[in-house]
């Protein structure tokens, strides 16, 4: 009687998940020591370095893929519990014209400059969205939709971080030189600096009032992750349909985790989440995003990133400058500065 071939054993995610959690734990500690850098950036940098000097074997890959995709989506959903939509509504309406102008400037500049510099489409989207909305969180939200290479994601986050750091150092000096009011600087920082931690650092170094206002403007800006992610999803779906992809499915490409993000935010807005547990939820979200970005770093190829050259950094610089200038211009036109 012929022997029946055994079914192949399912790939275990455990080794890769354990590796991602271990490196992420170190990154979390470093982030606490260097709050301006943050655990997420430390995670992706540590992951890249580990990958470069001691590349994980194939045994680790299933777990790393799972952490860089599914865990990333969970982290975005968890972030929704910390965002009350009513909390930012008033300030959002006040800053809406500036916010929309800067988002449009980021998208248009990234598209035009990306073609001039010959940066490919997915990296253009990552840098454009990261600059327009909220740095690493926005990049994390669109990664499951456009499915870029891990080294592109790592490159985009590193580029965004570079200009976040420059903004923290330069914006307060420039704000005083231009004579911006506390609210004027808060509006500028909240609409033109990418990452929330960098907005907070720049805002409060200017004044307490500027810091408060900048933080609320930034939270309002972060809500644009939702419509922009959905718009990108429909563009991707449309392109796949036109290309005749055999496995095309709107349900498959649709970013369902964004809907769960909305549900989480709605639950928070309705007051169904006790205030006492919000810090714990925020902590869990922070840990999950550090694990996910660490896994992306562990999958990124530093040598391949180096071959990309300076063009993505120039793209990031041009997009960041456009956002900063447009924010000031719109403030001037509407009489806020």
Residue 1 pLDDT greater than 60, yes or no? no
Residue 77 pLDDT greater than 50, yes or no? yes
Q: What does the pLDDT read at residue 258?
A: 64
Q: What does the pLDDT read at residue 185?
A: 92
Tally the C-alpha atoms within 13 A of residue 141's C-alpha that lie toward its C-beta.
32
Across 123-127, 232-236, 299-303, least confident range: 299-303
CA distance 180 to 187: 10
pLDDT interval class at 88 (50, 70, 90): low
**pLDDT averaged over every residue in the chain:** 80
pLDDT interval class at 90 (50, 70, 90): low
- Which pLDDT tens digit goes with each residue over 149-205? 877 887 888 788 778 778 877 898 899 899 898 988 998 998 888 876 677 768 877
CA distance 32 to 290: 12
What Cα–Cα distance (Å) separates residue 135 from each residue in 40, 117, 159, 188, 201?
11, 21, 10, 16, 15
Residue 300 pLDDT greater than 80, yes or no? no
What Cα–Cα distance (Å) separates residue 130 from each residue in 2, 85, 142, 262?
58, 21, 9, 20
Q: What does the pLDDT read at residue 36?
A: 65
pLDDT interval class at 305 (50, 70, 90): low
CA distance 322 to 66: 36
This prediction's pTM? 0.65
- Which pLDDT tens digit goes with each residue over 65-74? 888 778 877 8
Q: What does the pLDDT read at residue 85?
A: 66
What average pLDDT score do residues 28-40 get? 81
Q: What does the pLDDT read at residue 245?
A: 57
Answer left, alpha or beta for residue 213, where phi above 0 means left and psi between -120 and 50 means alpha.
alpha
Across 42-51, 62-71, 134-143, least confident range: 134-143
């Amino acid at each position: 009687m012929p022997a029946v071939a055994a079914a192949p054993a399912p790939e275990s995610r455990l080794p890769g998940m354990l590796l991602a959690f271990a490196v992420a734990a170190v990154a979390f500690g470093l982030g606490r020591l260097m709050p301006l850098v943050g655990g997420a950036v430390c995670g992706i940098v540590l992951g890249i370095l580990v990958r470069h000097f001691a590349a994980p074997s194939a045994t680790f890959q299933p777990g790393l893929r799972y952490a860089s995709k599914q865990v990333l989506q969970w982290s975005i959903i968890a972030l929704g519990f910390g965002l009350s939509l009513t909390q930012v509504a008033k300030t959002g309406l006040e800053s809406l014209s500036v916010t929309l102008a800067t988002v449009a400037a980021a998208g248009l500049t990234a598209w035009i400059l990306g073609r001039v510099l010959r940066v490919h489409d997915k990296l253009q989207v990552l840098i454009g969205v990261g600059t327009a909305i909220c740095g690493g969180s926005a990049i994390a939200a669109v990664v499951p939709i456009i499915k870029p290479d891990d080294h592109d994601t790592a490159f985009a986050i590193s580029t965004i971080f570079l200009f976040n750091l420059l903004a923290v150092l330069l914006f307060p000096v420039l704000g005083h030189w231009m004579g911006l009011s506390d609210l004027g600087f808060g509006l500028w920082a909240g609409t033109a600096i990418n990452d929330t931690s960098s907005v907070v650092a720049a805002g409060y170094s200017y004044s307490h009032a500027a810091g408060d206002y900048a933080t609320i403007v930034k939270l309002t800006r972060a809500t644009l992750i939702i419509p922009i992610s959905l718009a990108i999803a429909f563009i991707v779906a449309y392109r796949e349909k036109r290309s005749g992809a055999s496995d095309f499915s709107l349900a498959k490409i649709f970013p369902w985790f964004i809907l769960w993000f909305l549900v989480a935010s709605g639950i928070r807005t309705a007051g169904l989440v006790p205030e006492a547990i919000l810090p714990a939820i925020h902590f869990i979200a922070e840990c999950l995003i550090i694990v996910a970005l660490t896994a992306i770093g562990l999958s990124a190829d530093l040598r391949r990133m180096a071959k990309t050259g300076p063009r993505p950094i120039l793209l990031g610089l041009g997009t960041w400058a456009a956002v900063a200038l447009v924010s000031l211009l719109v403030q001037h036109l509407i009489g806020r500065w």
